[in-house]
Amino acid sequence: METVSVDQAIKLGLTSLEFEKIKELIGREPNFTELGIFSAMWNEHCSYKSSRVWLSQLPTKNKYVIQGPGENAGVIDIGGDDVAIFKIESHNHPSYIEPYQGAATGVGGILRDVFTMGARPVANLNSIRFGKPEHAKTKYLLNGVVSGIAGYGNCMGIPTVGGEVEFDECYDGNILVNAMNIGIAKKDKVFLSIASGVGNPVIYVGSKTGRDGIHGASMASQEFDDNSEAKKPTVQVGDPFAEKLLLEACLELMKTDTIVSIQDMGAAGLTSSSVEMASKGKLGIEIDLNKVPCREENMQPFELMLSESQERMLIVLKEGKEKEAEKIFKKWDLDFSVIGKMTDSKNLVLHFKDEIVCDIPITSLADEAPKYNREWESTPLPQEIDIDQKLKDLDIKTCLKQLLSHENQANKAWVWEQYDHMVMGDTIQKPGGDAAIVRVHGTNKALAASIDCTPRYCLAHPFTGGMQAVCETYRNLSAVGAEPRAITNCLNFGNPEKKEIMGQFVDVIKGIKEACTELNYPVISGNVSLYNETNGVGIKPTPTIGGVGLIQDVNNTMTYGLKSSDNLLIVVGETKGHIHQSALCHDILYLKKGPPPTMNLQEEKNNSFFIRGVIEKKLAQSVHDVSDGGIALAIAEMCIVGKIGAKISTNLIGAERVKYLFGEDQARYIIEIKKDDLNSLVQMAKEQEISITQLGSTNLEQFAIDEIKISVDEMIKLNNNWFYNYNSN
């Protein structure tokens, strides 16, 4: 066998110390194929080497959790014999290099994670973040990413029902594309990736293997520089049609009694899928690379093992079931090849031509992968500063108009109308609401889902920001009448080798942990994306949280558009006027200092419980959570969607009024109720010790705040136009 040098190892993204460790683990020099396999398994993306020590601290259990982190996706009980299976994953680096394919294969990857486990995917969500609109690449990236998500999801026939879009200069050189999928399966038909049974055949199904995406996972584990364009060949190319066939074929196979375990070939392709299955089953695996279906000629073992060609699965079958399985894949015109078997050697053994080209212990690739306890430095809570002078003379109407027409608050229909959000015939709440609602097909219950993060809070104080992201999904689910059950997280950060970045990561994890624990709202799956840096500048810490909740009765859900012009508007939760890090300060006034709003988890929990009760008792006509832009923007949005006005009085002036209207105190909701229901509501709030305040009432065609008036029509125009104008020239 040819041997390799430390220089080659470094070129593949390993450090010299890691190279020494490899030699020590296998007791000799690795050959080139083996080195490639180590580099693929030991990179940040696959090994979580910087994050593992911290991730293990997250709470992962409550009474609904059936499968927590460690599998292709997490599983929760949703009543009866149904389970929901979901996960979020990043595809940031590839989407920056090639936005259409990067985003498309991001959707493809997360779909496979979900249907690998036996679920039919029923809802796509995504969180996408771009640099400032004026940046030369932003428009191209936005259009490419949105088309890519649409191209893949629409062709698959899975509705894209929700998400978030944000612009901030910190993403100029590193956009974020986080894709989430939720599937539904039967409790006794969940498939795992733990291989078992020495001698069981290992089969390869799906598309053929090409040279695309080789080293994609390593690329995603490095910073960018000015030559990132040169990395285009590491981006995979998606084929949603092949995936649709693979989905149907796999679901058909899952109805038979043939599968031992199943794993999709995602990052690091055949390498990680085979190693993970064997490692979990504490077995060895032997693969004959001559049998891997190839799209290109003369593919070498290194390429076969590291290719990230899409739409492929690795399955361990029960012995003797090959014919039965093959028939299904042939029906769907997919490749099917028995490429190996499970062994008791505990090694990964690869045959190519007539040689053994790899023979290394599975444990050295998985359990023995490096784990770093990187140095970290916590971000202290910033001091409050006095900005009253800057606030006191602000024109409220101008502030509201600026917020309504700001890219981050603008109506996103331009984005979600490109996604088929109705296919499958169960979308009850389409994009644009507080949370998406998808009926569980053929039943009277539904899942609600929301995806959220407020990176400006996370930068100012990562611990608070981590808590807030979790709470915002919790609130959004509650606002549509769902009981929050569990989350998935996608942790997007800069370079963890810098202690302040590692500190952001650690603080955010601690924040998420605290919120999840208190809310009994555990993490069941997730993904970490580090090295989101270009030329040494990192993104704001962006822990995207995807929350999923259950609605028991599809006929009792809630929306936020105002319903009638003679109702009362109530704010639930305390308004203190915390203006630092608000959308107004950050995006409009460019005052970016000071602490984010304080989190009170007990209040989050109590107010959510109260809101769900109000919805259940049919006391509310509409409910909206208060987030970016505070009370003023929340009510404006309710007016816009309902095409009905509102009238509120603050009894305040100057800076205090600005803070009251645009402050972003947490755990708050606005509700619209009928006048006749006021007494019942007050009584309920009293019993549960919930703070509620009557703000005003609904109105005809105007939104009036004290003496300030703006027509609903004008607000609609301001809010609707940004994306169309931006993309029309």
Partner 1 sequence: MKASVIVFPGSNCDRDIQVALEKFQIDTTMVWHQETILPKSDLVVLPGGFSYGDYLRCGSMASKSRVMNEVIKHAKDGGYVFGICNGFQILTETGLLPGALLRNSKLKFICKNVFIKTTNNKTVFTKKIPENKILSIPIAHNEGNYFASKEEIQSLKEHNQIVFQYCDEEGNISGESNPNGSFLNIAGISNQNKNVLGMMPHPERSIDQLLGGVDGQGIFQSLL
Which residues contribute to the site for partner 1 (CB under 8 A)? 147, 150-151, 154-157, 239-242, 244-245, 332-333, 413, 416-428, 430, 439, 554-555
Question: Active site includes 91?
Answer: yes
Q: Which amino acid is at 131?
A: G
H-assigned helices in 52-137 = 52-55, 92-97, 99-115
DSSP 552-603: S-TTS----S---TT-EEEEES------TT-HIIIIIS----SPPPPP-HHH
Query: Measured from the CB atom, is 123 or 631 closer to partner 1?
Result: 123
Judge whether 477 and 605 are in contact, CB under 8 Å.
Answer: no
Angle between helices 462-479 and 601-616 (to 10 degrees): 10
Q: Can you tell me whether residue 522 is helix, strand or coil?
A: coil
The number of residues making up the chain comes to 729
Query: Measured from the CB atom, is 17 or 422 closer to partner 1?
Result: 422
The residue among 436, 476, 437, 432 whose CA lies nearest residue 454 is: 476
Residue 88 tokens read as 């979020």
Closest approach of partner 1 to the CB of residue 146, in Å: 9
Query: Measured from the CB atom, is 98 or 426 closer to partner 1?
Result: 426
Closest approach of partner 1 to the CB of residue 25, in Å: 44
Residue located via tokens 């070498």: 300
Which residue among the candidates 45, 93, 406, 578 is catalytic per the annotation?
A: 45
Query: Measured from the CB atom, is 23 or 717 closer to partner 1?
Result: 717
Query: Measured from the CB atom, is 230 or 422 closer to partner 1?
Result: 422
Query: Measured from the CB atom, is 81 or 553 closer to partner 1?
Result: 553
Closest approach of partner 1 to the CB of residue 83, in Å: 20
Q: Can you tell me whether residue 332 is helix, strand or coil?
A: coil
Closest approach of partner 1 to the CB of residue 564, in Å: 19
Query: Measured from the CB atom, is 416 or 610 closer to partner 1?
Result: 416
Closest approach of partner 1 to the CB of residue 616, in Å: 18
Q: Rounded to an integer, what distance in angstroms lies between the CA atom of residue 9 and that of residue 21?
A: 12
Query: Measured from the CB atom, is 150 or 648 closer to partner 1?
Result: 150
Closest approach of partner 1 to the CB of residue 618, in Å: 16
Query: Measured from the CB atom, is 150 or 579 closer to partner 1?
Result: 150
Q: Can you tell me whether residue 200 is helix, strand or coil?
A: coil
Q: Are strands 523-529 and 483-492 parallel, antiparallel or unpaired?
A: parallel
CA torsion, ordered 350, 352, 355, 357, to nearest 10 deg = -40
Residue located via tokens 């990230």: 308
The residue among 399, 378, 435 whose CA lies nearest residue 579 is: 399
The residue among 535, 542, 490, 488 whose CA lies nearest residue 516 is: 488
Residue 42 tokens read as 């030991």
Q: Can you tell me whether residue 32 is helix, strand or coil?
A: helix
Closest approach of partner 1 to the CB of residue 177, in Å: 18
Judge whether 86 and 114 are in contact, CB under 8 Å.
Answer: yes
What are the start-end ranges of the E strands in 436-594?
Answer: 436-439, 446-452, 483-492, 523-529, 533-534, 537-538, 542-551, 568-572
At residue 38's C-alpha, the angle toward residues 35 and 44, to 5°, is: 135
Query: Measured from the CB atom, is 112 or 578 closer to partner 1?
Result: 112
Query: Measured from the CB atom, is 147 or 520 closer to partner 1?
Result: 147
Q: Rounded to an integer, what distance in angstroms lies between the CA atom of residue 493 and that of residue 495?
A: 7
Q: Rounded to an integer, what distance in angstroms lies between the CA atom of residue 554 and that of residue 563?
A: 19
Closest approach of partner 1 to the CB of residue 416, in Å: 8
Q: Rounded to an integer, what distance in angstroms lies between the CA atom of residue 277 and that of residue 343?
A: 12
Residue 151's alpha-carbon distances to 125, 582, 699, in angstroms, are: 14, 35, 42
Closest approach of partner 1 to the CB of residue 301, in Å: 31
Residue located via tokens 């390498």: 271
Judge whether 158 and 399 are in contact, CB under 8 Å.
Answer: no
How far is the first Cα of the chain from the last one, in angstroms, to the nearest whole number?
A: 59
Residue located via tokens 């042939």: 330
Closest approach of partner 1 to the CB of residue 714, in Å: 20
Query: Measured from the CB atom, is 2 or 333 closer to partner 1?
Result: 333
CB atoms within 10 A of CB 15: 13
Closest approach of partner 1 to the CB of residue 429, in Å: 10
Question: Active site includes 351?
Answer: no
Q: Return phi, psi of residue 145, to 5°.
A: -65, -45
Residue 508 tokens read as 């955010």
Residue located via tokens 């009760």: 613
Residues annotated as catalytic (active site), given as ranges: 45, 91
